[in-house]
A and B are shown apart, each in its own frame.
Chain A
Amino acid sequence: MLFLLALLPLIGALAPALAIRWGRNAAAVAAGSTTLAALVVLASLTPGVFAGETVRASVPWIPALGLNASLFLDPLGLMFAGMILGIGLLVIIYARFYLAAADPMGRFFSYLLLFQGAMLGIVLSDNVLLLLIFWELTSLSSFLLIGFWRHSAEARQGARMALFVTGGGGLALIGGLLILGNIAGSYDLTVILQQRDVIQASPLYLPALLLILGGCFTKSAQFPFHFWLPHAMAAPTPVSAYLHSATMVKAGVFMLARLWPVLAGTETWFLIVATTGLATMVFAAWVALFKDDLKGLLAYSTISHLGFLTMLFGLGTPMAALAGVFHIINHATFKAALFLNAGIVDHEAGTRDLKHLGGLFGLMPIAGTLALIAGLSMAGVPPLNGFISKEMMLEEAAHTVWLGQPWVFPVLATMGALLSVAYSLRYIVHVYFGPRRDDYPKSPHDPGLGLWGPPALLTALVVVIGLAPATVAGPLVDRVAGAVTNGASPHVHLALWHGFKPALFMSVVAIAAGALALMMHGRLQRLFEAGRLPPAKALFDAGVAGAAALSRRGVDAVQNGSLQRAMAALIGTAVVLGFAGFLGAGYEPGDRPGVPASAAAVVGWIALVTATVLVVLFHRARYVSLIYIGIVGLIISLAFAHLSAPDLALTQISVEVVTILLMLLALNLLPKTTPAESRPWRRVRDGVVACAAGLGVGGAAWAVMTRPLDSISSYFWDNAYSGGGGTNVVNVILVDFRGFDTFGEIIVLGIAALGIFALLETVGTGASGRRVAAWKPDTVRSPEHHPMMLVVATRLLLPLAVAVGLYIFLRGHNQPGGGFIAGLVVSVAILMQYMASGYSFADQRLRADHHTLIGAGVLTAAATGLGSLLFGAPFLTSAFDYFHLPLIGEIELATAMLFDVGVALTVIGAVMLALAQLSRVAQSAEKAPPPETLEAMDVDPSRTPATPAREAGR
């Protein structure tokens, strides 16, 4: 059930994106019903949680890392999940009517559900690593939602800033939670939360605490990390109401509450958390009073209330934690209602600027009433819910002594409450009261039910909780506080009237002085202007620009765009590190007896070294160097044959043929020589690096070869025949034991071929198209374009070569051969046709499409592998049996052979695709049809009697 709950919004995020095809209502219904379904699931779990049980669900994911997908639902999670889904549903309804027809609503709801799922994940996670993943996901979805109006620069900058700050905090949180998990010896929250003494005694408590608080304070916009939140207001208002006041910004507070049992209660905790909270509360409330933008006012007010909550959890007493829990609910109700109200004002009056508003009450009585109630609750006026939790906060502050000073907390808390009254009243008075104006950008009137319904529901909650707190919120608050404090919280009867306590007098002072402050708003404004803070955005932008410039300088110093320099640095580093390692450890020569070299081997070695040196010396003459490199490849395949590796020998020789053909084709269009442009010192430098590298690699090979072998191969040897049904152990390893590797490798090969196709298919366009068109043959052409002898011989050879390929394929499981080699041999056979008879002739007759071949090959291999699943065996398990065929006799058929068919098809497809594309380009460059030669031995097979043009077939 829990997994269903956590995954519903994440999976449901796809629904609106698809449903938008059927209109905006469909998208909204898809999003709304997903949320509703999750809400129903949550409701079905609620009685159990209320009865005191903790719902759990766990699936091992990466147990070795302690990363399990464990979820649990306790009262704290329940409260947050309820807020996330409940307010989410209201916001979805509201957004349907709020967004303009031009806004991409499907995308909006998808992002919103993505966020919803991520946020649910945070509050439901039992494993802290899982929690971190969801934490980052909320930052990402918040980024997407803030930047929803992509065309607005403000939105994009706000989104970036929010991602930077909350994402950076997320990194700190990762560090902190990892340390915490290490101290506790488990990454499961339920285990961590029981280890208070161990954690607080650990020397790593302070670093862990600081890092975790870094995450919480950035997410919950605590001073001095608060500056991103006002800029996040560039998001559509439903997003501001949902993410940036009711839920996401509370994630930091949630973490404080979640980890309260193990982290709270120390002097450090109190000093950092409570002080930050108090400072944020007062500072942000002061700024809020002078914000003319409605959403700016509400943003700073949100920061102030988040400070309020942070301070309560920072006090470290169970009673304060209880007040914090209660205020989380209250703040979510009245602040979301006010944000939605600001959206209504913006929507109806066309502006959010307080300087251009006023007197709207008569025009919009419904919205005005709702704003009045929610605003008074924010001000903390009885009998609304905001009053009760503010009262509890003041009561706690009144008893708090800060660094030996008993007056600091009460005075500053009252100050915060006072400013809160002032800006709340300002919202109500400056928007809805005062003289009616005639210069509203639009003609305001009450919106439809879709817009005022959701805030009305929230406002109703504000009133109901205020009037009957013990009945409506009491049971929940009691249980959540119990969960936050590990059962240490007192059972409090929530009530409006607390008696004549200091808090009551502080409240009265706050309300009276707050009202007074609003009257003196003009004079205070001048005071505010005088003490204006440095603009956070400019500082932030300067910081980002500075960091970018610094890293650019760093990159430029290392990488100047020259491949040569980068390669030299890379290889040089490898050489230095390699030799440092070698010199750092003592070297003892190995004692494994060597294999005596035959005379033939020495001759081969001489040929190989000579050819290599020749390539290096004459690499500028490109055609010639290809001949030499062919010799090298040939000797290497002979070496493989000599050293008991027949499969490798076959593969190497056929790959060699194909590679040289490919290079020849490419060279046709490339320059034929390399200019000498390296300076001598550079050649010397490269030579030194090259010799050092060669010495190192050769030395390493020597060191290994002179030591005895301890191999795991006896397993393959023992099981190849009995388990894999083949005697060629190399082939059995390829198609059976390590079949999955081979499967990956043929996919890589296919991708390389498709990459080549992509590079060459578009060669006729743009600059390269012009160059191909202007290209002139720069080598002497043979008068015989299609030598008759070659044409005839290759045609005779084709069936023979294919038969050889087939033979190599069939015997591959037991004798040297197999899919790779067979594929290469068949490719070479077909390539011969291309060479002898020309591209158009061969291409016309080759029915199989190369792409299809690659696809068919990979699919055949995959299907063979999946087939074993049908029989209950793991992926790519092979089966084999012996059959008797008349005439031929006993034969063995193995499913591995089918897999090998896939390998062969992919190899043929990839090789043919690469070479055919290359020859097609060469052909198109050779635009002038060759003159009809009178050479007797030249025939163009693609020529038809009626149309003598060479291109007839294409």
Chain B
Amino acid sequence: MTMEMLVASAIAVLTAAGVYLVLRARTFPVVLGLAFLSYAINLFLFAMGRLVINRPPIYDKAAEGYTDPLPQALVLTAIVIAFGMTAFVVVLALRTFLETGADHVDGREDAETGS
């Protein structure tokens, strides 16, 4: 059992969950799905720098080696941007619900949840 296997399979599971939820008919599961896709994509990007243990990219003359800092820098901003996106989509879903009385992704009114 290697770390690579674990991470790859985790990415697979997260992606599958994200896609399945994104295809749901209500806004909240779609938001959850987007969050899962963000996790998966961030992990995927991170994995492009390969998996290295105990070699943080902190410069030191005595360091024996280091992991690739570039994907980390990219993923760091990606995490923050993903938060911005999730926040925006959640609020959009909320506003849509308040505006239409339904939280269906197509903005359809329905008696079940309408108020």
Chain A interface residues toward B at CB < 8 A: 561-564, 567-568, 571, 592, 594-597, 601-602, 605, 608-609, 612-613, 615-616, 619, 622, 625, 629, 632-633, 636, 639-640, 642-648, 651-652, 655, 658-659, 662-663, 666-667, 669-671, 674-675, 677-678, 686-687, 689-691, 693-695, 697-702, 704-706, 709, 711-713, 716-717, 720-721, 726-730, 733-734, 738, 741-742, 745, 748-749, 752-753, 755-756, 759-760, 763, 766-768, 771-772, 774-775, 814-816, 820, 824, 907, 910-911, 914, 917-918, 921
B48 touches A704 (CB 8 A): yes
Q: Are A644 and B53 in contact (CB under 8 A)?
A: yes
29 contacting pairs across A/B (C-beta < 8 A): A567-B23, A571-B19, A592-B50, A616-B17, A632-B36, A644-B66, A644-B67, A645-B72, A655-B80, A659-B86, A663-B90, A669-B94, A670-B93, A674-B24, A675-B113, A686-B19, A686-B24, A694-B15, A694-B19, A700-B44, A701-B12, A705-B47, A709-B68, A711-B70, A712-B70, A717-B59, A763-B98, A768-B95, A771-B98
Find chain A residues with CB under 8 A from B86 CB.
659, 662
Q: Is the interface of A mostly helix, strand, loop or mixed?
A: helix
Interface mask (B1-16 → A, CB under 8 Å = 1, otherwise 0)? 1111111111111111
Chain A CB within 10 Å — which of B42, B43, B80, B115 has the most? B80
User: How far, in whole Å, are A699 and B51 apart by their CA atoms in the complex?
Assistant: 16
A697-B6 contact, Cβ under 8 Å, with A652-B79, A734-B73: no
Which of A655, A697, A816, A910: most chain B CB closer than 10 A?
A697
Quick check: A596 and B17 within 8 Å, CB to CB?
A: no
| B39 contacts A636, C-beta separation under 8 Å | yes
Closest chain-A Cβ to B33's Cβ sits at a distance in Å of: 9
Docked Cα-Cα span, A748 to B113, in Å, equals 34
Which A residue's beta carbon lies closest to that of B99? A768
- Contacts A698-B8, A771-B101, A816-B56: A691 and B16 contacting too (C-beta < 8 A)? yes
* Given known A629-B35, A697-B40, A816-B56, contact A755–B2 (CB-CB < 8 A): no
User: B residues 52-109 with Cβ under 8 Å of A?
Assistant: 52-60, 66-70, 72-73, 75-77, 79-88, 90-95, 97-101, 103, 105-106
Which B residues are in CB contact (< 8 Å) with A695? Answer: 12, 16
Given A596-B1, A645-B46, A711-B68 in contact, is the A605-B77 Cβ separation under 8 Å?
no
- Is the beta-carbon distance between A694 and B16 smaller than 8 angstroms? yes
Q: Is the CB of B60 within 8 A of A727?
A: yes
Check B55 against A752 for contact (C-beta < 8 Å): no
Q: Which residues of B contact A609 (CB under 8 A)?
A: 9-10, 13
- B residues contacting the other copy or chain, number (CB 8 A): 90
- Chain A contacts of B103 at CB under 8 A? 670-671
Report yes or no: B87 in contact with A662, Cβ–Cβ below 8 A: yes
Contact A659 B91 (CB under 8 A): no
Known: A701-B8, A730-B57, A759-B95. A655 touches B79 (CB 8 A): yes
| Contact for B56 among A594, A644, A671, A771, CB less than 8 A | A644
Q: Which 3 A-B pairs have the closest CB atoms?
A: A698-B12, A694-B16, A594-B2
Residue from the list A608, A705, A755, A816 in contact with B58, Cβ < 8 A = A816
Q: Give the distance to chain A from B42, nearest Cβ to Cβ, in Å.
A: 8
Q: Give the contacting residue for B72; candidates A602, A648, A720; CB below 8 A.
A: A648
A763 touches B57 (CB 8 A): no
Q: A563-B106, A564-B23, A640-B46 are in contact. Are A749 and B69 (CB under 8 A)?
A: no
Residues of B within 8 A of A702 (CB): 4-5, 8
Residues of B within 8 A of A677 (CB): 25
* Distance A239 CA – B110 CA, assembled complex (angstroms): 55
> Is the Cβ of A697 less than 8 Å from the Cβ of B11?
yes
**Quick check: B77 and A734 within 8 Å, CB to CB?**
yes
> CA–CA, A652 to B46, complex, Å?
13
The chain B residue sitting closest to A616, CB to CB, is B17
A130 to B17, CA, bound (A): 50
Beta-carbon contact of A745 and B57 below 8 Å: no
Report whether A670 and B79 are in contact in the complex, using a CB–CB cutoff of 8 Å.
no
CA distance A697 to B37 in the complex (A): 11
Q: Which residue of chain A has its CB nearest to the CB of B87?
A: A914
List B contacts of A706 (CB < 8 A): 4
CA of A788 to CA of B8, assembled, Å: 46
Question: Whole-angstrom distance between the alpha carbons of A619 and B83 in the complex?
Answer: 20
Q: Please give the distance in Å from A600's CB to the nearest CB on chain B.
A: 11
Residue contact B55 to A608, C-beta cutoff 8 Å: no
| B93 and A666 contacting across the interface, CB-CB below 8 Å | yes
Q: From residue B27, how far is it (CB to closest CB) to chain A in Å?
A: 8
Kindly identify which residue among B3, B8, B57 contacts A717, using a CB–CB cutoff of 8 Å: B57
Q: Is A596's CB under 8 angstroms from B2's CB?
A: yes
Q: Give Cα distance in the complex from A663 to B23, angstroms.
A: 19
Whether B91 lies near A666 (C-beta < 8 A) is yes
User: Nearest A residue to B19 by beta-carbon distance?
Assistant: A690
Known: A648-B46, A655-B79, A689-B23. A763 touches B95 (CB 8 A): yes
Are B1 and A651 closer than 8 Å at their CB atoms?
no
Query: Please, which residues of chain A bring their CB within 8 A of the CB of B36?
Result: 612, 615, 629, 632
What chain A residues lie within 8 Å of B46 (beta carbons)?
Answer: 640, 643, 645, 648
What is the bound-complex CA distance between A816 and B9, given in angstroms?
Answer: 28
Q: Of the candidates A597, A646, A753, which one forms a contact with B6 in the assembled complex, judged by CB atoms under 8 Å apart?
A: A597
- The 8 Å CB contact of B84, one of A636, A686, A753, is A753
* B69 engages A760 (CB within 8 Å): no
Q: How far is the CB of B32 from chain A (nearest CB, A)?
A: 6
* Chain B residues within 8 Å of A910, by CB: 84
Contacts of B15 in A (CB 8 A): 690, 693-694, 697-698
Known: A596-B3, A609-B10, A639-B7. A705 touches B83 (CB 8 A): no
List, in ascending order, chain A residues with CB within 8 A of B16's CB. Answer: 690-691, 693-695
**Are A622 and B28 touching (Cβ within 8 A)?**
yes
What is the CA–CA distance of A760 and B50 in the complex, to the nearest angstrom? 42
Say which residue of B3, B52, B57 sits within 8 Å of A729 (CB atoms): B57
Q: Which residues of A contact B35 (CB under 8 A)?
A: 629, 659
A636 (CB) vs chain B CBs: closest residue: B39
B contact residues around A563 at 8 Å (CB): 105-106
Complex: chain A residue closest to B2, CB-CB: A594
Chain B hits for A709, CB < 8 A? 49-50, 68
Q: Give CA–CA (A686, B1) in the complex, Å.
A: 30
- Which residue of B is nearest A742, CB measured? B77
- Report the separation of the CA atoms of residues A690 and B40 in the bound assembly, to the nearest whole angstrom: 13
Contact B81 A601 (CB under 8 A): no
A594 to B3, CA, bound (A): 7
Closest to B50 in A: A709
Tell me the nearest residue of chain A to B91, going by C-beta.
Answer: A756
Is there an interface contact between B17 and A615, defined as CB atoms closer than 8 Å?
yes
Q: Which residues of A contact B19 (CB under 8 A)?
A: 571, 686, 689-690, 693-694
**Residue numbers in B under 8 Å from A775 (CB-CB):** 115
Nearest chain A CB to B7 CB, angstrom units: 7
- Cβ contact within 8 Å between A670 and B95: no
Q: Known: A645-B67, A652-B79, A674-B29. Contact between A608 and B10, CB under 8 A?
A: yes
Among A700, A730, A815, A820, contact of B69 (Cβ-Cβ < 8 Å): A730
| Choice from A756, A772, A820 contacting B76 with Cβ under 8 Å | A820
B47, A730: Cβ atoms closer than 8 Å:
no
CB–CB B28/A667 < 8 A: yes
Q: CA–CA, A602 to B3, complex, Å?
A: 9
A508 CA to B115 CA in the complex, in Å? Answer: 87
Closest B residue, CB atoms, query A643? B51
Is A694 a contact of B84 with CB atoms below 8 Å? no
Name the CB-closest residue of A to B44: A701
B11 and A752 contacting across the interface, CB-CB below 8 Å:
no
Complex interface: chain A residues within 8 A of B32 (CB): 615, 619, 625, 629
Taking CB atoms, residues of chain B closer than 8 Å to A742 are 77
Interchain CB contact (< 8 A) of A756 among B22, B88, B115: B88
